[in-house]
């Protein structure tokens, strides 16, 4: 698997969330486990704009998709 172009910290910045390692760990801890049938962008923890961004990057297979996939895995 290729390393993502963007870091998890950069994704959290893009989503307008605190991007410190401790905050990312806390976010993941608070919002897991995500049900297997729930797509990442459908999780209740996102604002409409965050959900839209996550959906768009997956649809476009954008360079953010790799790190979004990592976040999805961490939330499972």
In a domain, 73, yes or no: yes
Q: Please state the φ and ψ torsions of residue 12, each to the nearest 5 degrees.
A: -65, -40
In a domain, 17, yes or no: no
pLDDT (tens digit per residue) in 25-35: 999 999 999 99
Q: Could you give the number of structural domains in the chain?
A: 1
DSSP-derived 3-state class of residue 2: coil
Is pTM beyond 0.75? Reply is: yes
Domain range holding 72?
A: 44-76
In a domain, 36, yes or no: no
Q: Is 2 a residue whose pLDDT tops 80?
A: no
Report CA dihedral (57, 51, 27, 66) to the nearest 10 degrees.
-10
Distance separating alpha carbons of residues 46 and 40, to the nearest angstrom: 9
Cβ atoms of 32 and 76 within 8 Å: the answer is yes
In a domain, 62, yes or no: yes
In a domain, 55, yes or no: yes
% of the chain beyond a pLDDT of 70: 95
In a domain, 65, yes or no: yes
pLDDT (mean) for 35-40 = 94
């Amino acid at each position: 698997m290729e390393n993502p172009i963007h870091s998890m910290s950069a994704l959290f910045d893009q989503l307008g969330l605190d991007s410190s390692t401790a905050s990312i760990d806390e976010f993941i801890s608070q919002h897991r486990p995500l049900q297997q049938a729930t797509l990442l962008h459908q999780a209740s923890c996102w604002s409409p704009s965050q959900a839209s961004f996550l959906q768009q990057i997956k649809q476009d297979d954008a360079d953010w998709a790799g790190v979004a996939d990592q976040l999805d895995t961490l939330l499972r």
